[in-house]
Structures are given as C-alpha cells and as structure tokens.
Amino acid sequence: MRDFTSFANPIILLIIPYWILGWSKEYKILLVALLINEVLCSIIKLLYHKPRPDGQGFDGNVAKIDAGSFPSIHSSRITITYLTLFMSTSDIVMKCSFLIVIVLVYLSRVILKRHFPIDVYGGAIIGLIIFWVSQYF
C-alpha cells in the first residue's frame, strides 16, 4: 500500500501530469490548484489539530501540520490531480486507470493508519471543490 500512497507525493504529482499534459494551460491551472490546496489544508491542520491514528507526536507548528490527520492532504492532492488528468483524455482505459489510482490512494491512507476514513472523505471533498473551482472559474 505504501507504493500506492506515493502516487500522491508532491514530486510525483508534478512529474506525471507534466509527462501527460506538458506545459499546457491545464498543467498551469493544476499547479495553482495544488498550491491553493496545500495552503488551505495546512491552515485547517494548524487551526484544528486532530491526531493521526498512529499517534504521531509533534513539536512546533510545522510538525503540527504534518502530525494532523484531518484533512488528508494526500487525498485532496490525488483528487485534484487525477481528476484533471481524467478530464484531459477521452481514452476510457486511461480514465478508468486514473479513477483506480484515486481509490487506491484513499484506501492506502487508511490501511497504513495515517488517516481515519473521515479524514480521507474530508480531503476528497476539499480536492473536489478545488478541482471544480479550478475548472470552471
């Protein structure tokens, strides 16, 4: 499951979309959406600290953000990125692959005891909202 969760690593989320989209308008919009996501989710984690299932401790505000369980930033990142990729293709196999990756990352976060299911739902909802706003405004 650790391999699946790495699909939501920020570096991977910059490389794979660039490989598919190139330096296109969609890629640039995605970069802005991911930046907004990082800032918004970090503020939520800073203001509302919910401990992770594994009880990760923290010392200081930066570590507090990393130790926070709600919302799952991996879930919001993967939602924004792979829905962007989903919308960029008409190939049904690619579309299904992108949706499978999203679900596998969601599951991996819970199985690896990094998040409770509600944290993943929260991250997914935030990702959906940011994705929707980035696509339509």
CB 37 within 8 Å of CB 129: no
Q: Are 66 and 58 in contact, with CB atoms under 8 Å apart?
A: yes
Torsions phi, psi of 51, nearest 5?
-60, 150
pLDDT (average), residues 80-101: 96
Identify whether the C-beta of residue 52 lies closer than 8 Å to the C-beta of residue 114. Answer: yes
**What average pLDDT does this structure show over 2-27?**
88
Query: Could you give the CA distance from residue 108 to residue 31 in angstroms, rounded to a whole number?
Result: 24
Residue 2 has pLDDT above 70, yes or no: no
Which tokens is 107 given?
Answer: 């599951």
Query: Pick from 39, 35, 114: which is nearest to 72 by CA?
Result: 114
Residue 25 has pLDDT above 80, yes or no: yes
Please state the rounded mean pLDDT for residues 47-66: 80
Taking 80 as the threshold, does the pLDDT of residue 57 lie above it?
no
Confidence of residue 67 (pLDDT cuts 50, 70, 90): confident
Number of Cβ atoms within 10 Å of the Cβ of 99: 13
- Percent pLDDT > 90 in the chain is 71
- Give pLDDT, residue 78: 96
Is the Cβ–Cβ distance between 53 and 115 less than 8 Å? yes
- pLDDT-based confidence at residue 72 (cuts at 50, 70, 90): very high
Give the mean model confidence (pLDDT) for residues 7-30: 92
